[in-house]
Amino acid sequence: MKSLKVQYIVFLFACIISSCTSISTKTYELTTACLNENSPIKIILISDLHSSIFGKEQTLLINKIKDINPDLIIMAGDIFDSKRPATGTYLLLSGICGIAPVYYVTGNHEYWTKNIQTIREELISYGVIILRDEYEIVKINDIEIILAGIEDPEKKKYERQSYDQSKSMEIAFRELDEIQLYKILIAHRPENIEMYKKYSFDLVLSGHTHGGQIRLPPIMNGLYAPDQGLFPKYGGGLYKHEDLTHIISRGITKNHPKFPRIFNPPELVLITIESL
């Protein structure tokens, strides 16, 4: 009898884990007075791919993105992995080329490869726009918005010892206070939200947490996240900080043998922004 119970528990656990290997699409609907009534914006947020592959030649992921037909594709870091081959990343980049403009910021794993310059060159070869503590005015559906991005703090260790993210943000983004457009910041690490709140952004897009790996909704929104530890404050989802909205992708990487995703499937994020 005990043996049957153990087998049942093992089977149940295996089912839970296996259910967290297919892609879930999470949709957030936002409103703003900065857009015209007939000019909604659709944004795909991809974070923490870690070069995972979904379907033959990455077709499952690519087809999901094509079906959504976004206006922007945003990659919030850790699209590459420091240990896995980059095959899954290149398949994705090749498959989404031409669907919509693609904007990217570094995550920690891009730096951990110790090959950051080559990664940048390869991204550019696919038409990806890299935001390195800078912003662009982007025109979508005849509406201009601000799209900004910051480098991962690992830049200080692996590329330039003098790098100070806080100072770099002040130099790059303080002038945005005077610009009356909808402003989006792409920043891999959500735990640094207090620094992002110092600026006039309307929306911050992050990743890094992997959704806390193990979730028990609505009881526990993540067991563990990098740089936050156990029971992270920012595990994944939507957070409000007065006028600032912060959306954290749970990441689209598959299960890791040592760190299974439980009640936490790989997540593709769709954000729609419409007029009030």
C-alpha to C-alpha distance for 248 and 187, rounded to whole angstroms: 10
pLDDT, residue 3, reads 63
pLDDT, residue 127, reads 97
CA atoms within 13 A on the CB side of 82: 13
Residue 242 pLDDT greater than 90, yes or no: yes
pLDDT of 16-58, one tens digit each? 554 556 899 999 999 999 887 778 899 999 999 999 999 999 9
When the pLDDT of each residue in the chain is averaged and rounded to a whole number, the result is 92
Burial of residue 26, with CB atoms counted within 10 A of its CB: 0-12 exposed, 13-18 middle, 19 or more buried: middle
Q: Is 20 left (phi over 0), alpha (psi -120 to 50) or beta?
A: alpha
Strands 134-140 and 129-130: unpaired
Are the beta carbons of 82 and 112 closer than 8 angstroms? yes
C-alpha to C-alpha distance for 174 and 18, rounded to whole angstroms: 46
pTM above 0.95, yes or no: no
Q: Bridge partners of 60?
A: none
pLDDT of 104-163, one tens digit each? 999 999 999 999 999 999 999 999 999 999 999 999 988 999 999 999 999 999 999 999
Hey, how many other C-beta atoms are within 10 angstroms of the C-beta on 89? 24
Ranges of each domain in the chain: 22-275
Are the beta carbons of 123 and 130 closer than 8 angstroms? yes
Are the beta carbons of 128 and 102 closer than 8 angstroms? yes
C-alpha to C-alpha distance for 75 and 101, rounded to whole angstroms: 11
DSSP codes of every residue in 169-195:
HHHHHGGGGG--SEEEEE-S-GGGHHH
Residue 210: name the closest of 244, 234, 239, 192 by CA.
234
Proportion of the chain above pLDDT 70, given as a percent: 91
pLDDT, residue 11, reads 44
What homologous superfamily is domain 22-275 in, according to CATH?
Metallo-dependent phosphatases (3.60.21.10)
Hey, how many other C-beta atoms are within 10 angstroms of the C-beta on 276? 8
C-alpha to C-alpha distance for 3 and 8, rounded to whole angstroms: 9
Residue 9 pLDDT greater than 60, yes or no: no
Give me the mean pLDDT over the 254-262 stretch.
Answer: 77
Burial of residue 272, with CB atoms counted within 10 A of its CB: 0-12 exposed, 13-18 middle, 19 or more buried: middle
Residue with tokens 């770099």: 168
Cis before 218 (ω within 30)? yes
pLDDT of 181-199, one tens digit each? 999 999 999 999 999 999 9
Residue with tokens 């690490």: 189
